[in-house]
Amino acid sequence: MLNSPSLPSPFRQPREFYEYCIMLAALTACLYDHALTFDSEVISDESHASRHP
């Protein structure tokens, strides 16, 4: 089944496999950074509201 030409094998095309892993890692890092920024904004908004009721 792994030798079927219709199925792309990461072992037959290591360059595309590595590029996909790098792209996936970059996307995950971007989403994680965005989530941290969103959390910090929510926390700052809550603290701002508590200082000025």
Question: Do 38 and 46 touch, CB atoms closer than 8 A?
Answer: no
Structural domain includes residue 45: no
Structural domain includes residue 22: yes
Structural domain includes residue 48: no
Q: What is the DSSP letter of 7?
A: S
Structural domain includes residue 53: no
Q: Decide which of 50 and 33 is more confident.
A: 33
Q: Is the pLDDT of residue 1 over 50?
A: no
Q: Is the pLDDT of residue 7 over 80?
A: no
Domain containing residue 25: 13-40
Q: Decide which of 39 and 1 is more confident.
A: 39
How many domains, in total, are found in the chain? 1
d(CA 14, CA 25): 16
Q: Which of 26, 6, 24 is nearest to 16 (CA)?
A: 24
10-42 residue pLDDT tens? 556 778 888 999 999 999 998 888 888 877 776
Q: Is the pLDDT of residue 3 over 60?
A: no
Q: Decide which of 47 and 20 is more confident.
A: 20
